[in-house]
Copies of this chain bind each other. A is one copy, B any other.
């Protein structure tokens, strides 16, 4: 029974998370105060504690939000009936489209060990390993089907993930390239690293 009220709270929480992510991305976790997060939403910092346990909790829910979205997308690609080349291309493009659209959220996701401990840290690290694993799956499938030629899967996967994971650091909404253009270019260039020459 997700009542009207519960929906309203959920909506407010999402609003707070989106707004918080923007400030956190700009100033960093320890550089952002609860007051700043609140002010941007025209609230007082006290109100934040009605919706979230504490500052960590806000950051944690930002992570959860994006991790869910990211995993959904990659799972869809991996489980599709595309061939490995198309899968890798789709996975790269999907990631880039999401990370440029949700730049702030992606920007606050680095160095989780500086921000979380115990269960929360493990959950975040697991989700990441999971995500990386899906890329390995695509790469291995391509090797098996002899469309990819890769000497060291882990290194190639790291190059791909690093490249796409750094985009949020320099991408600018108002810059010369759109997310789509970057996705197109990155996909075509990164595929050159793995596609077998016939």
Q: How many copies does the complex hold?
A: 2
B111 touches A28 (CB 8 A): yes
Q: In angstroms, how far is the closest chain B Cβ from the Cβ of A192? A: 5
Known: A155-B182, A166-B165, A166-B166. A26 touches B114 (CB 8 A): yes
CB within 8 Å of B: which of A157-181?
158-159, 161-163, 165-167, 169-170, 177
CA distance A2 to B96 in the complex (A): 52
Contacting residues, chain B, for A169 (C-beta < 8 A): 110-111, 162
Q: Taking the complex as formed, is A71 at the interface, i.e. its CB lies under 8 A from any CB of chain B? A: no
List 7 interface pairs A-B (beta carbons < 8 Å), by A numbering: A26-B114, A28-B30, A158-B170, A162-B167, A163-B163, A163-B166, A197-B197
